[in-house]
Homo-oligomer: A and B are copies of this chain.
Amino acid sequence: MKLNERGLLVVISGPSGVGKGTIRKALFKIPDNNFCYSVSMTTRKPRQGEVDGVDYFFVSREEFEERIKNNGFLEYAEFVGEYYGTPMDYIEKQMDKGKEVIIEIEVQGALQVRERLPEAVFIFIVPPSKKSLLDRLKIRGTEEASKIQERINKAEREFGLAYKYDYIVVNDQVENAADRIYAIIRAEHAKTERSIHKYYKLLEEEND
């Protein structure tokens, strides 16, 4: 008996610099997983080593704004002068196929998704200590000082938004954090409100 067939939308979010991307990559290394990744779209420039269509879809401002007009995003946000968004079409299709769709987004975007798809699973990644995160943001070498300060201010505000999420996962070690997320996904499938209808249907069929 399979109580759940539809996949879940799993939103991995948290303060900038907390290691969301690394955790997501570790998650996909779990054997026999059924995950699929929804690649975000952005107008920011690729960082060294980032690949178009893998890390992000890198598009122009014009292209991005055209898609906003056409209601083509599950969520989008402007952050430090650049757009970031989650294209919608792909996600529903994958969930219907039974895939767990993992999206990794900024806090602002996650809260938009919460409004549109409250049944999604919202996970807030936190650093093992606040200091460790602020240190990390300072040494991230790709931006000017003013942008770094902007990131730190933003992270400070985001620390306070954990209460809006379903789960809080500590990024003490990347593999631990990924394992915890995997446990959350399995548990969510077993939640009574997600599985009860199929269970009762099964009981009825056998009474026929």
Contact = CB atoms under 8 A, between A and B. Distances in A.
A184 B12 CA distance: 18
A108 interface: no
Contacts of A126: 1, 199
Contact of A129 (B167, B170, B202): B202
A149 to B, nearest CB: 18
A169 B190 contact: yes
Contacts of A129: 1, 202, 206
Interface string A112-130: 0000000000011010111
This chain: copies in complex = 2
A196 B168 contact: yes
Contact of A186 (B3, B165, B187, B207): B187
B192 A166 contact: yes
A136 to B, nearest CB: 15
A162 to B, nearest CB: 6
**Interface pairs A-B: 6 shortest CB-CB:** A187-B187, A183-B186, A183-B183, A184-B187, A167-B190, A130-B206
27 contacts: A1-B129, A1-B170, A1-B172, A3-B170, A123-B190, A129-B202, A130-B203, A130-B206, A162-B192, A163-B196, A166-B191, A167-B187, A167-B190, A168-B192, A168-B195, A169-B190, A179-B186, A180-B186, A183-B183, A183-B186, A183-B187, A183-B190, A184-B186, A184-B190, A186-B187, A187-B187, A187-B188
Interface of A: 1, 3, 123-124, 126, 128-131, 159, 162-163, 165-170, 172, 179-180, 182-184, 186-188, 190-192, 195-196, 199-200, 202-203, 206-207
Given A3-B168, A126-B199, A166-B191, 10 more contacts: A1-B128, A3-B170, A129-B206, A165-B192, A167-B187, A168-B190, A179-B186, A180-B190, A183-B187, A187-B188
